[in-house]
A and B are shown apart, each in its own frame.
Chain A
Amino acid sequence: MDTLAFILTQCVNAFSQAALLFFLGCGLTLIFGIMRIVNFAHGTIYMAGAYLGYTSVRWLGGFVAALMVAPIVVGVLGVLFELFILRRLYGRDGNAFLMVTFGLALVLGDAVQVVWGAPPLQVPPPAALAGIAFFLDEPFPVYRLFLIGFGTVMAIGMWQFLERTRLGLLIRATSQNPDMVHALGTDVRVVRSGVFGIGCGLAALGGVLAAPLVTASLGMSLAAVVDAFVIVIIGGMGSFLGSLIGALIVAFVQVFGNYYLPEAALAFMYLVMLTVLVVRPGGLLGKEE
């Protein structure tokens, strides 16, 4: 394998991984930015997305349907959870939210096991994306290329949504000064519900996209929640761009670390996180609080 082919292969590996991580980190950081809630159930929501994706593919017969149905269903459930449970806790200290989201992780995890059972389930990539492209005599799975493309489109879409739309403006304003937004006549509670739903939906979308690579399994939540926290800590809690940068850093460190120093690849990721914490305690693009 020549150098160019090697670098290309590794970049495809890393960017496709970054795309998956971005959905995880972005949802977590949005929720934190607006609500100051550390959502411990994020990994479990991501897993639930993968399982719902499995069922959508089965019942509706298409991966595209799964990409739409799973995030919407999970998003709506997220909104309901915010409405009926989280809303009662505002004004309490952060521990209340830790406990309640941790509880959600346990309950949701067991619910998934009751509904879908313990054995992992196969979610094959759609036929159109199951192929392989050869370049410089090296194979590139079409599905990974799709992940990169889809991730890029979604990242630009989210960015434009937050920067250019009125709703995006409200979200940013609420994250900076909720009292002022409220005083100006916007119901902050609605913004919060909506953002919690969007954050959960993004995690579920990540779960559906990951399923063809890892199958839908009960074990996927734990690794996901750890990755999501590392991304958000590196990028900065509450920063959208930070979660994108965090996802890229984590993916590249994992992919190149696994290649050159497989024994220490995991440690590398935490080392990067630690360095960021020492140099910029709020994360690369976050604000110290």
Chain B
Amino acid sequence: MKRFRGLTRRGVLKGAAAGAAATLAAPAFLRETMAQATGPIKIGIPCALTGTFAAVGQVTKRGAEFFAKERNAKGGILGRPIELLIEDTQGNPANCVRKAQEMVERHNCRLITGVTVSSEALALVPKLEEWNTIFMSSINGDGRLTAASFVPNFFRANTSGPMGARAISLFLRESKMQKFFALGMDYAWGHNSVQVFETELKNASKEFIGKVFSPSGTKDFSTYITKIRQSGADGVYLVLAADDNNAFLSQAHQYRLAERMTMLAEQLELVSVKAVGEAAIGLTASSRYPFTLENPANAAFVAAFQKEHGEVPDQFDGEAYHGLAVLAQGIEKAKSIEAEPLRKAMEGMVHDGIKGKVTMRACDHQGEQRGYVVQVAKTDKLPHPTLNILKTYGADQITPPCNKMTYDN
């Protein structure tokens, strides 16, 4: 028998057979996991790159890509590069579930973040256990995600809708305004936030005189503006995003609504401020991430971001970046991207980043963090209006009790 580099033919065959048997015996997911323990860390971002929420999704993508680029330049996470899988969902829950499922099943991606719309997030969470996947929310506001609809594989690094509503309502407690009207987008987030605002006003012994919801994608807000004017409120609370928000602000400015009452918003994106310009001046809003936050990590982030993109980061650039930073810290702490160790590592973890100290509390996986009330103001330093931070509230004041989306006092 011919010798073949010190191995007998029989020996080679035996080894090959054993190897094949082991590979066949190992369940498919284990094989995938073995491959995944060394390659790039895949993070799925099924977000709305087109449609009504395109502006939000595009900013999310930009913030996430900025994080990945910066982090990969420093050696990635656990020495492995980050690979983002970004897919367009058009803001549609069914699309979102389909795209996420593709990421999980076809690309063996077990980490999801950057989902745009709350209704998409609510559609995803029931699948997380089956997919053995961690979903780190960085955008989704709906209070139910950390309350009635909470699942263990869900984490929320961002400020939620109720937390935004809470910050603005704490701000209103100190103001002279008495009567309020609310306008929200007619889907999960809008209804949820208006409801929280209504409860908050009652607690503050202020008067809530009415509400109206506009279908997502509304172009003409004239009737809503007529209704708001008729209400005789001192302030109108707005839960609007993306195109709808821009359309409302442009038209409200043409009707001089701000001369009649104060306009308050649950959240504010710079992209809206840029799109409507002067029509946004004076708008008072709760901001989840104002680029004007003063801390060393944020100063470095804003400077690097400006260098890369020639403009300051928007709210969801910051939130997408922050969500990924929390996730990366969790992975380093767990030394794994498997759902179970990662979940344990992130529960109670303190992250100190661009939004200051954020604690991912164990009970409902909400990131405890500060709330900010900002006002849109003119500035000479930027080509668009800036966000002045009027008031900062502590994490203990704006984070709701565990598994709740309303506040006790």
Contact = CB atoms under 8 A, between A and B. Distances in A.
Contacts of A218: 50-51, 54-55
A160 interface: no
B188 to A, nearest CB: 15
Contact of B55 (A119, A212, A262): A119
A38 B224 CA distance: 33
A109 interface: yes
Given A217-B243, A259-B227, A13 B222 contact: yes
A122 B246 CA distance: 9
Interface in A194-251: 210, 212-215, 217-220, 222-223
Interface residues of A, number: 43
Given A214-B247, A215-B243, A13 B58 contact: no
A223 B52 CA distance: 9
A124 B274 CA distance: 12
Nearest to B224: A258
Contacts of B251: 141, 213
A250 to B, nearest CB: 11
Contacts, number: 119
Interface string B215-230: 1010110111011011
B interface majority secondary structure: helix
A258 B223 contact: yes
B256 A132 contact: yes
B247 A213 contact: yes
A122 B58 contact: no
Contacts of A256: 223
A99 interface: no
B256 A139 contact: yes
A214 B54 contact: no
B144 to A, nearest CB: 21
A146 to B, nearest CB: 11
A264 to B, nearest CB: 10
Nearest to B246: A215
Contacts of A121: 275
B226 A132 contact: no
Nearest to A226: B217
Contacts of B243: 120, 214-215, 217, 219-220
A215 B224 CA distance: 18
A17 B274 contact: no
Contacts of A143: 254
Contacts of A113: 50
Interface in A98-114: 109, 113
B254 A217 contact: no
A259 B226 contact: yes
Nearest to A134: B256
Given A132-B254, A265-B215, A215 B247 contact: yes
A256 B224 CA distance: 10
A13 B218 CA distance: 14
Contacts of A17: 220, 222
10 contacts: A10-B223, A10-B226, A120-B243, A122-B276, A124-B277, A141-B255, A218-B51, A262-B213, A262-B214, A262-B224
Interface of A: 1, 6, 9-10, 12-13, 16-17, 109, 113, 118-122, 124-125, 130, 132, 139, 141, 143-144, 210, 212-215, 217-220, 222-223, 254-256, 258-259, 262-263, 265-266
